[in-house]
Structure 1
Amino acid sequence: MKKIVILTSALFLGVALMAYLYFSRLGIENNAKDLALQSATNNAALVFSFQNDKGFYNIMEGQELIQQVLGQDKMSLLTQLKTSIIDDNTLNRYIKDQQVYISVLPDTNKTLNFLITIQLSPEHDIKKFYDQLKSKAAISQNSKNIYSVKLNDNQSVFMGVQSQVITVSTSLKLIKDASIRLTENPFTEFIKENNHQIKNVLAHVYINFNQAPLLLKSIIAGNINGEIAVFDKQNSYAILNYNFSKEKILFNGNTQLKDPNNYLKLFENTPAQNTTIQNILPDNTANYVMYAFDDYAKWLGKLNNWQQQNKTAEQSSTVIKNIKDQYRVDLNTIFPVYTKNQFVTFQLSTTEKLGAIALSNGEKVRQLLLDVSADYNEDIKLFKSSDILVSYFGEPFKKFGKPYYTVIDNNLIVANNASTIQVFLNNYKNNRLLIQTPQYLDAINQISNTSNVNYYINTKNSSAIFRDNIQMPFYKHLRADSGLKSFDTFCYQLSADRDKFITNLLLNKYLKPEIPDSLSNR
């Protein structure tokens, strides 16, 4: 009996040891496979990823829209790298079928640059790859593990070599940074958790909103505020899949919010909605952010909890109480009763900012608000007290402290100037609306007709805003015929799916329908 116990114990220990060794080795192998991903994602807000397969390059050669987005200089670099390495069978066998990562990172002097990262196949040796490359190109050592590689008479790059990982960039700074960045990070973990669910995808885009401020500081000419403040200190990640098209650039996937205090958390676990409030926007709308939920009473409960977490609940309660004491108007019998399921903030091409809230009975709301309002004219009123709307709708209405407003066709429209409201009314009454423009109709037909949050930019109407807020090199690329000028719409659409958002990212170019010669000659 004693022998049986000893044998059984020994067998158990042996199995446990073998399992430990197996999984330890598996973990080491997996960590080794992740080195390129770790290097590519650290400090990067945007990473483009694809498999080094000739089929991918054949497809992308026909995607002129991507080439326009990247610009001539960046496209020239990628083309030369493909010619020098990918098209060379001897060199390409070291990295065949491996994932290629192109990270967009801030560089010196308020510029952005690419860091290209790839990991050698496990069966190949990094030294042999270097020897092969040295026999085909002019290489000189810059410092430890960093080399200068001359691709042709006009193009040189820096190359970092470390632990089977190769990094390439025209920026020495990015290569040096990459050489000390082979560490696990939350962005890497997010990608690994989500990538295993995706098969047969041509390419991915990974977005780390934590790093977006560093990227934006290289692009914008001022502080991160106003309409882009949403990207400041937002602990969120997105993984999006590229859908090939010659007519548009479309990615879809999901966005996850990691910060429990994020305002957008109020729209999680809420059914996506069919929205109509965007149909009232003027045709010179430059951008908008639209929000939708299924039931305002439930959503208001979420907002109240959010205000408690962010220590603004007491301020909102004070606003509501003071109005009740001073004007004998109980706002809790107005907004919670007559608010529908959607609202929007938007900006015109003239930079003026407005907000709109959908109501179930606009005429009733107009009457109930009379005692807390001052007359500007028959159509336009002014709230006598501040922070009414932010108390009931939160962060998007912070910019409208004590606004002018009008109520029209069951919509409450607000702005900080009466003249802005008048401009809106003139456009609305004369049917000069965004929904009437073919460019807008074409864009919204490319994405889902239901959502919870929708960011929209009309690039043509935003031209003056871009000119005043974006560094000149980026503005020139936006307005260049060879750049982004022909793209008319950017849209980032979020639809709640439990604790994440199904996401569509669209960069659209409206192609005017061709008129047959037989008709145009009539």
Structure 2
Amino acid sequence: MRNTIILTIVLFIAVIGASIYYFSDLHGEKKEVLRPLTFLPRETFLISTFHNDATTDNIFKDFEIFEALVGKAEMSQWKVWKDKLLRNTILQPYVNDADMYVSFHPEKEKIVSLITVPTAETIAPETLAALMEETAKTFKISEKDSLGARIYQFDKGVKDSIFHVVYHKNIFFASYSDSLIYKVIDNKQPKLGKKAIDYFVENNSRNSPLSVYFVHEQINAISTQLLRKKPGSFLQLFDSLGGQSAWNLNFKNDALILSGESETDKDLTHYLETFSHQAKTTQRLFNYFPENTASYLSFAVSNSGRFEADLKTMFERRGEWEKLSASFQDLERRSGMSMENDIRGIFGNEFAVLEQSNQTSIGFITLNDSSALSKNIDKIASEVGDSIFRFDYANIPYALFGDPLKSFSRPYFVRLGNTIALANSMSLLQNLRQDWRRENLLINTLGFKNFEKIQGNEANITYFQRTRTSATLLNNLLKPAFSRNFQNEDDFGYQDFYSWSAQISGNNGDFLSSIYAIYKSKNALGATPDWTYEFDNRPITAPWVFEHSDTSQFILIQEQDHRVHGIHPSGKKLWSAVFHGRVVGDAQQLADRSIVLVTDRNQLYRFDTHGNGFPGFSLHLSDEPTYTPTIAELDGQQLILIPAGKKLLVHAVDGKKVGDWEALTLAGKILFDVKVRDNFVYLGTDNGHFYKLDAKGNVISEETLDGSFFRSPIAVVDGENKSSAIVALDTTSTLVTIRFDQNPTKRKIGAWGNRALISLDGERTQTAKRLIAIAEKKLFVTGLPDGNPIFEYTFTQSVTDRPQIFKNTTFGDLIGISSRENTLLYLFDEKGNVIDGFPIEALPQFYFGKIDYNSATYLLCVRRDKKLYAFKN
């Protein structure tokens, strides 16, 4: 597991470099870029350079990532130096046309920074003296001469915070380290190489607010500086790589993204060079990785022929080919299987190695021809039990794919879908297979879903590390000073980074490269609630938001002991009362603001916004309600129509029974709620009987679909000649339209199976526009009444909760999906886009919209701690 830290260290330093950007306020064209870099010591870990415009402070002042990395105390100091030095009116004319650099260098048990600011013209001694005199109003200033230069020391009166500044060769160099200043102005000290500087100058982008430069040979020095122990095998892939990288910043408030180009020494004894002539391609192996993955290194080949040729060249130049070739011949002699003609064709173009939180490693290889593997597996491997095999010959994975799989000399392997997993022990594969069957996978975690949205999966090489699953290891590997910073959540925010990653793709002999640091922003939706409300038991309904008075609204929700809570939009308790039974369907509000709901104990409730029941309520019903009541006006009277299995119970809003509705004989159980439109009542039953009733409960029309079965709600749509029609979906995914005055029409719109979960987004008295179907892992949204598809979406786990509809939000009409298996909430707009900030980790059934008349949009959801959370969007 030492491997997990290596690239993290490089990324860690890179992001620290980016954070000093906030310190600047400079503007200028590309000018004298090369000269300031020539003074930097050879042991420069990283360089960042930037220019500025008038919007810089506004962009970066709320960028939490910078403060999380640099630390609150350090950021505070930088702001002081920025305001008192760089913003000083005396200095401004000399630096406004300059680029600024911040570089990082090793020093004992820490890493120190150097700020480099060239001036447009020479500053006269008297002007410099005036600057020092002006600055002395804030700092105690002393000075000394060394190596022919005058070094100024700015003392703010805080321990270890003396800032050393020298003006040398028309360049300001500033650092908290005086020894680093001496290295800069000492011509005898080794400096940064010319080849690296030329590459940085060539790749400097004036279109990016910040660029980062990195010399690859510093990887070993960085690991030595930060680690207590020798790094692991992942580092060997980057060891002695040679060359350098130049990256530019892409701004995002919940991620730091650096992308650019890398060149190497093009030494084909180095494994990564075998990818330099590849091109980015889709990587899919991460779909197989278990949830406890701490880090992984994944590879995808776009040109198999070129990769195989370059891999052979690498083996030859290392002096390994002769031995490998002899083993291939031995394998062919024994098994009759040729490595080149038979075995290589079995396997695909993706492979990976991951490390788990328990410090174990697993390899993965895709299959190109699974039937060929099944046919020939007994020629190259032996079954050791439980459908797990072991290669009979050594170094097959290494010969096929090179260094990443070298540690799997004669591994055990098991097939998972179109992939085999490799390990050096059977138990690892048994556990992996169990995770696979239970869908206990990395892709089902909230953090990885957010990571995927930012990074994507097009590359040749991807390195990924999760902070949470690697935190203990990182603490143990880092030297004490760095470990303390990593753990210090008061001053730093390293624990708030979900992951660190890098992607590399071949580019005609060189590479395209990107670095990603995904941050769990405290301002992100679902991170910091405006308030929480705690229950004694788990809530069992979605939160509903209703009017409370002319000036405010309130939230209604029921918990497991059947207690119903009224909650103020501020999160304060208004009232609570125990109801008899669990709420069936949804609660609804009448025009007078009273609330109507039914429970599974045959109770009908009507109560005011203070929780007080109306006279005559609660009311015992003759039968158990089966879904949400429909409240509508029929013949001028407001009625409550309650589905109750094969009966339709109808009461006036005062609780009295109306007419003889219970005499209505239905041939099956009512499908969910009933619809009311134009003084008619529409309903359907599970066995294919559909009814149009008048305002007295008399059957006006009935349509029977023999042999059809239904498990989904009905909807009312506009028919011909201003008439209304019922649409319903049967258990064969056939959309049926019942017009009553002509034969029903049927249209097959899917193959979703009879367990599909269906919602329709029309209100009970309005026309439905969309049908939303969940079939295991897939979401299908279809237009009504035409049945034309609108969009689809595939989840990583089966969804077992019916879709929710949120009408008339600031984002339009939205579809809410709750994934119970991995406790994730999704929200889709009308075009099928996931609303920014989602998915969110919470239990099924939630609310999204305003919670008061003039409030912002909120997400109301419940988590495993039995609290209602209010997150402002």
Distance change >3 Å, CA 244–CA 32, structure 1 → 2: closer
Q: Show the counterpart of 1:387.
A: 395
State the 1:326 CA deviation.
Answer: 4.2
1:464 aligns with 2:472: yes
Distance change >3 Å, CA 294–CA 139, structure 1 → 2: same
Q: Show the counterpart of 2:448.
A: 440
Q: 2:247 aligns with which of 227, 240, 245?
A: 240
1:324 aligns with 2:332: yes
Whichever of the two has the greater Rg, that structure is: 2
Which structure dedicates a bigger proportion of its chain to strand?
2
State the 1:363 CA deviation.
Answer: 4.7
The answer to whether the 8 A contact 2:95-2:118 is kept is yes
Counterparts of 1:19-168 in structure 2, within 5 Å, are 34-40=34-40, 42-51=42-51, 55-108=55-108, 110-121=109-120, 123-125=121-123, 127-128=125-126, 130-135=128-133, 136-137=135-136, 138-141=141-144, 143-144=146-147, 145=149, 147-154=151-158, 155-168=161-174
The letter of the residue matching 1:364 is A
The letter of the residue matching 1:141 is K
- Of 127-136 and 435-444, more deviation after overlay is shown by 127-136
Q: Show the counterpart of 1:348.
A: 356
State the 1:324 CA deviation.
Answer: 2.6
Q: Show the counterpart of 1:509.
A: 519
The answer to whether the 8 A contact 1:490-1:508 is kept is yes
Partners of 1:42 and 1:186 lie apart in 2 by 12
Distance change >3 Å, CA 184–CA 257, structure 1 → 2: closer
- Of 512-521 and 496-505, more deviation after overlay is shown by 512-521
Give me the CA root mean square deviation: 2.5
Q: 1:215 aligns with which of 217, 222, 227?
A: 222
Q: 2:404 aligns with which of 396, 401, 405?
A: 396
Partners of 1:175 and 1:234 lie apart in 2 by 29
State the 1:235 CA deviation.
Answer: 0.8
Q: Show the counterpart of 2:497.
A: 487
Q: Secondary structure at the match of 2:496?
A: coil
Partners of 2:310 and 2:355 lie apart in 1 by 27
Please list the CA deviations of residues 226-247 of structure 1 after superposition, one character each: whole Å capped at 9, or x if unmatched.
2233332221311111122222
Partners of 2:477 and 2:407 lie apart in 1 by 18
Partners of 1:341 and 1:57 lie apart in 2 by 46
Question: How many residue pairs get matched?
Answer: 489
Please list the CA deviations of residues 348-382 of structure 1 after superposition, one character each: whole Å capped at 9, or x if unmatched.
11111111010122353254232443443232222
Partners of 1:479 and 1:436 lie apart in 2 by 27
The answer to whether the 8 A contact 1:36-1:117 is kept is yes
Counterparts of 1:240-319 in structure 2, within 5 Å, are 240-261=247-268, 262-319=270-327
State the 1:496 CA deviation.
Answer: 2.6
The answer to whether the 8 A contact 1:53-1:97 is kept is no
Partners of 1:367 and 1:221 lie apart in 2 by 49
Q: Secondary structure at the match of 1:467?
A: helix
The letter of the residue matching 2:357 is S
Partners of 2:360 and 2:48 lie apart in 1 by 35
Q: Secondary structure at the match of 1:217?
A: helix
State the 1:328 CA deviation.
Answer: 4.3
The letter of the residue matching 2:173 is T
Which structure dedicates a bigger proportion of its chain to helix?
1
Q: Show the counterpart of 1:424.
A: 432
The answer to whether the 8 A contact 2:105-2:112 is kept is yes
The letter of the residue matching 1:369 is I
The answer to whether the 8 A contact 2:459-2:504 is kept is yes
- Of 253-262 and 214-223, more deviation after overlay is shown by 253-262
Q: Show the counterpart of 2:634.
A: none
1:200 aligns with 2:197: no
- Of 178-187 and 158-167, more deviation after overlay is shown by 178-187
Please list the CA deviations of residues 471-495 of structure 1 after superposition, one character each: whole Å capped at 9, or x if unmatched.
2332333343332111101121123
The answer to whether the 8 A contact 2:31-2:99 is kept is no
Partners of 1:282 and 1:213 lie apart in 2 by 30
Q: Secondary structure at the match of 1:289?
A: strand
Percent identity over paired residues: 19
The answer to whether the 8 A contact 2:90-2:131 is kept is no
State the 1:31 CA deviation.
Answer: 10
Partners of 1:290 and 1:304 lie apart in 2 by 20
The answer to whether the 8 A contact 1:187-1:237 is kept is yes
Please list the CA deviations of residues 13-54 of structure 1 after superposition, one character each: whole Å capped at 9, or x if unmatched.
xxxxxxxxxxxxxxxxx9965221222474223111112555
Partners of 1:427 and 1:286 lie apart in 2 by 15
Partners of 1:271 and 1:103 lie apart in 2 by 32
Q: Secondary structure at the match of 2:503?
A: strand
The letter of the residue matching 1:171 is S
The letter of the residue matching 2:401 is F
Q: Secondary structure at the match of 2:90?
A: helix
Partners of 1:63 and 1:269 lie apart in 2 by 37
The letter of the residue matching 1:241 is N
State the 1:111 CA deviation.
Answer: 1.4
Please list the CA deviations of residues 211-233 of structure 1 after superposition, one character each: whole Å capped at 9, or x if unmatched.
12112211111123322333322
The letter of the residue matching 1:495 is S
The answer to whether the 8 A contact 1:372-1:385 is kept is yes
State the 1:105 CA deviation.
Answer: 1.2
Partners of 1:126 and 1:492 lie apart in 2 by 46
Q: Secondary structure at the match of 1:506?
A: strand
Q: Secondary structure at the match of 2:358?
A: coil
- Of 420-429 and 227-236, more deviation after overlay is shown by 227-236
Q: Show the counterpart of 1:4.
A: none
State the 1:172 CA deviation.
Answer: 2.0
Partners of 1:40 and 1:100 lie apart in 2 by 13
State the 1:271 CA deviation.
Answer: 2.8
1:170 aligns with 2:172: no
Distance change >3 Å, CA 125–CA 419, structure 1 → 2: same
The letter of the residue matching 2:267 is P
The letter of the residue matching 1:228 is L
Partners of 1:358 and 1:58 lie apart in 2 by 47
The letter of the residue matching 1:393 is F
Partners of 1:274 and 1:41 lie apart in 2 by 40
Q: Show the counterpart of 1:14.
A: none
The letter of the residue matching 1:89 is T
The letter of the residue matching 2:119 is L
Q: Secondary structure at the match of 2:385?
A: coil
Please list the CA deviations of residues 416-468 of structure 1 after superposition, one character each: whole Å capped at 9, or x if unmatched.
22222222111111111111112111112112431111111111111233133
Partners of 2:403 and 2:393 lie apart in 1 by 17
Distance change >3 Å, CA 369–CA 332, structure 1 → 2: farther
Partners of 2:214 and 2:276 lie apart in 1 by 19
The answer to whether the 8 A contact 1:120-1:126 is kept is no
The letter of the residue matching 1:194 is N
Partners of 2:228 and 2:374 lie apart in 1 by 41
Q: Which one has more relative contact order, counting CA pairs under 8 Å at least 6 apart?
A: 1
The letter of the residue matching 2:224 is K
Partners of 1:354 and 1:320 lie apart in 2 by 24
Q: Which runs of 5 or more structure 1 residues have no equivalent in the other structure?
A: 1-29
Q: 1:407 aligns with which of 409, 415, 432?
A: 415
Q: Secondary structure at the match of 1:351?
A: coil
